[in-house]
Amino acid sequence: MKTLLDKLWERHVVASRNGYDLLYIDLHLVHEVTSPQAFEGLRLNDRKVRRPDLTFATMDHNVPTREIWNVTDQIAQKQMDTLRMNCKEFGIELADLDDERQGIVHVIGPELGLTQPGKTIVCGDSHTSTHGAFGALAFGIGTSEVEHVLATQTLWQKKPKSMGVEISGVLPKGVYAKDIILHLLKTYGVAMGSGHIIEFYGEAVSRLSMEERMTLCNMAIEGGAKAGLIAPDETTWSYLQNRHYTSPKVTDLFTDKGASYDTSIHIDVSHLAPYVTWGTNPGMGVRVDEVLPPVTDENEDRAYVYMGLKPGQSVSDIPVQHVFIGSCTNSRLSDLEEAALYIKGKKVREGVRALVVPGSKAVRNAAMAKGLHTIFIEAGFEWREAGCSMCLGMNPDQVPNGEHCASTSNRNFEGRQGKGARTHLVSPAMAAAAAVYGKFVDIRKEEYREAVSYA
Ligand SMILES: CC(C)[C@H](C(=O)O)[C@@H](O)C(=O)O
Ligand code: SF4
């Protein structure tokens, strides 16, 4: 009797010592921010990249999404130039700014078919957990570990505990995977998964598209887990068809009946509502139809001060001056399609600045082929190039001090979107509606949604 985690782990152990296992790494994804010192380390030690063919690099964090070539920040320029030079010197494939495959590392891996069930996948980036949606053992690593993987294609790890999160029920209309994870974080806290790898399963998970599953696993890390996992099924295999890289079909990647998790949780999402975060960690959220909660500790007190909000206010009292639809959590085609349903034929409210930033060039092109960019632009949104953009303040897209942003990203920490920026994490549909009304509305009500389907 084995869990999915047991199976993935065992198949990659090449040596064991003092409670640690040396894991073989099947795919190493690289971006410009966390790789420069790792390559420098190789050079200093006169080492090569062991498996350039299992390594793939892209540019995302620093990319200026308004004019992709107009890099004004010197550190950004240096990091991008360094990645170019390193990829050339060490023979690694790079999706550079002019490459059709460029985009946020966690968006392009799956879309190219590099992300495959049964693989071990690492990247110097915490949201590597996203790839777990395919039944891959995928987690973020630090820069010294990036160097170790580049040099050896292996990594020493201690096996984490397993957590099973069963999600049953059918999601109501206007409620998404984003709301499931925000609900879990609110209910069980941002340390819920600490020391664990979370496997999500159950009726509601089976019904999610691959893109929604990625949203769920993307934010497993915000619950303190090392990774998120979902067993591959027909939805997974059909997503993987006709990708650039072909995935072999593996049939035994699931938790055996009778196997048990170290920790188990069960939720039912039949009555779940859209969520909005009011505070400074992703667990500080409320349902759209609730009022902001009373203060129970110092952190919450500080969060209220930072956010300029008060307990007892209703969610619709929160002013929204910025809207960001993007990030590795919610910038895929279906996210943009869902958002478009709430703005078609409407206008962004005066005083609101709204951005749509597709997660990759491929998403951008696919959206344009469907005419989505026209819907966004006509409504008053800025239609951008692919990159991390306003998800974090590493490029020109920032939220000014003291202003509020409805954001489809995954982190609402102090200063995350710029100094003094006030972030509210929501689904793409909630963000789109907030752009139109300048506040959060309950998108479950039919009146907010255009009766069009892009399916
Ligand atoms: C820059 C990078 C190291 C960082 C991460 O690891 O997650 C970033 O992607 C983030 O989302 O905060
Ligand atoms: S989109 Fe945001 S969370 Fe994702 S990799 Fe980029 S900065 Fe990190």
Alpha helices in 103-175 (DSSP H): 105-112, 143-152
Domain 161-268 class, CATH top level:
alpha beta
Tell me the three state secondary structure of residue 408.
Answer: coil
Indicate the top mutation candidate among 59, 127, 129, 408 to test ligand 1's pocket, ranked by most ligand atoms within 8 A of CB: 127
**Cβ atoms 404, 322 nearer than 8 A:** yes
Q: Per-residue DSSP letters for 130-144?
A: GGGGGT-EEEE--HH
217 marked ligand binding residue: no
Task: Give me the pLDDT at residue 140, please.
Answer: 98
**Distance in Å, CA 52 to ligand 1 centroid:** 23
**Distance in Å, CA 107 to ligand 1 centroid:** 14
Please give the Cα distance from 60 to 241 (Å, whole number). Answer: 26
**Distance in Å, CA 260 to ligand 2 centroid:** 33
What values do phi and psi take at 276, rounded to 5? Answer: -135, 130
Q: Each residue's pLDDT tens digit in the chain (455 positions)?
A: 999 999 999 999 999 999 999 999 999 999 999 999 999 999 999 999 999 999 999 999 999 999 999 999 999 999 999 999 999 999 999 999 999 999 999 999 999 999 999 999 999 999 999 999 999 999 999 999 999 999 999 999 999 999 999 999 999 999 999 999 999 999 999 999 999 999 999 999 999 999 999 999 999 999 999 999 999 999 999 999 999 999 999 999 999 999 999 999 999 999 999 999 999 999 999 999 999 999 999 999 999 999 999 999 999 999 999 999 999 999 999 999 999 999 999 999 999 999 999 999 999 999 999 999 999 999 999 999 999 999 998 899 999 999 999 999 999 999 999 999 999 999 999 999 999 999 999 999 988 876 555 44
Indicate the top mutation candidate among 34, 58, 79, 106 to test ligand 2's pocket, ranked by most ligand atoms within 8 A of CB: 106
Indicate the top mutation candidate among 59, 104, 407 to test ligand 2's pocket, ranked by most ligand atoms within 8 A of CB: 104
Whether ligand 2 lies within 6 angstroms of the CB of 130 is answered as no
Q: Which sequence spans correspond to the domains of the chain? A: 4-157, 161-268, 276-448
405 marked ligand binding residue: no
Quick one: which of 226, 243, 233, 227 has its CA closest to 210? 233
Report the CATH superfamily, name and number, of domain 276-448: Aconitase, domain 3 (3.30.499.10)
- Residues whose CB falls within 8 Å of the CB of residue 56, separated by 6 or more in sequence, listed in order: 27, 28, 29, 30, 92, 93, 95, 109, 112, 114
Q: ipTM value of the model?
A: 0.98
**Distance in Å, CA 370 to ligand 1 centroid:** 31
**Distance in Å, CA 251 to ligand 1 centroid:** 33
Residue 12 is classified by DSSP as T
Name every protein residue with a CB atom under 6 angstroms from any ligand 1 atom: 33-34, 61, 125-127, 140, 392
Domain 161-268 in the same topology as domain 4-157? no
Query: Which pair of structure tokens corresponds to residue 89?
Result: 């010197």
User: What is the chain's Cα-based Rg?
Assistant: 21
What values do phi and psi take at 81, rounded to 5? Answer: -60, -40
Whether ligand 2 lies within 6 angstroms of the CB of 127 is answered as yes
Atom of ligand 2 nearest to the CA of 126: 8
Can you give the pTM of this predicted structure? 0.97
123 marked ligand binding residue: no
Q: Note the ligand closest to the C-alpha atom of 34.
A: 1
Dihedral angle over CA of 310, 313, 318, 324, nearest 10: 80
Whether ligand 2 lies within 6 angstroms of the CB of 332 is answered as no
Quick one: which of 371, 373, 413 has its CA closest to 392? 413
Take atom 6 of ligand 1 and give the residue whose Cα is closest: 125
Task: Give me the pLDDT at residue 66, please.
Answer: 95
Quick one: which of 186, 196, 425, 444 has its CA closest to 329? 425
**Cβ atoms 439, 316 nearer than 8 A:** yes
Tell me the three state secondary structure of residue 26.
Answer: coil
Task: Give me the pLDDT at residue 455, please.
Answer: 43
**Cβ atoms 273, 287 nearer than 8 A:** yes
Domain 4-157 CATH assignment equals 1.10.150.20: no
**Cβ atoms 123, 105 nearer than 8 A:** yes
Task: Give me the pLDDT at residue 451, please.
Answer: 59
Sheet holding 154-157, edge to edge: 13-17, 20-24, 154-157
Whether ligand 2 lies within 6 angstroms of the CB of 426 is answered as no
Atom of ligand 2 nearest to the CA of 331: 1
